[in-house]
Homo-oligomer: A and B are copies of this chain.
Amino acid sequence: MFQTKIRLNFYDCDPAGIIFFANAFRFAHSAYEQLLEKLDYRVDPFNNDKFVIPIIHSEADYKRPLKANDVIDINITAETGGSTFTLNYEFLKEGTVHVKVKTVHVFVDKKAFKKTGMPDDFRELLIKTAG
């Protein structure tokens, strides 16, 4: 499991005074970026010659409202397939899960623009860091 903390801002909220639902995916992605930094993979996953890793599916369940100034814990656990990996995020405030997010990522060969296998060393690092 990978863990990080994020502070929620005033402008992440909507006129109802709570975090706008779409922003949960931003917070999740910020945590994902921090996970990738931690992996310290040999090429930049966001910018290299071999592959891109687009998100093909995302979903969120909103259990309790989050607000501005909240500092939430985000826990990520990763599951890997042949050419995809799924990240499961839990957003916790004072120990209680408020939002659950899931994102599914697929390795795509940059030249062929086709699905390709996940590099073995990426898989190992991902499982080691967030398995």
- B-contacting residues of A (Cβ < 8 Å)? 7, 9-11, 13-18, 20-23, 25-26, 29-30, 33-34, 37, 46-47, 52, 54-62, 65, 68-69, 103
Cα-based distance from A52 to B16 in the complex (angstroms): 9
Closest to A9 in B: B30
**A14 nearest CB across to chain B (Å):** 5
**A90 nearest CB across to chain B (Å):** 15
Cα-based distance from A47 to B26 in the complex (angstroms): 25
Contact across chains for A46 and B10 when beta carbons are under 8 A apart: yes
Contact across chains for B62 and A59 when beta carbons are under 8 A apart: no
Cα-based distance from A61 to B56 in the complex (angstroms): 6
CB contacts (< 8 Å) of A15 on chain B: these are 10, 13-17, 46-47, 68
CB contacts (< 8 Å) of A20 on chain B: these are 11, 29
| CB contact between A33 and one of B9, B23, B25 (< 8 Å): that residue | B9
**A37 nearest CB across to chain B (Å):** 7
Contact across chains for A57 and B46 when beta carbons are under 8 A apart: no
CB contacts (< 8 Å) of A33 on chain B: these are 9-10, 68-69
Cα-based distance from A57 to B102 in the complex (angstroms): 11
Contact across chains for B21 and A58 when beta carbons are under 8 A apart: yes
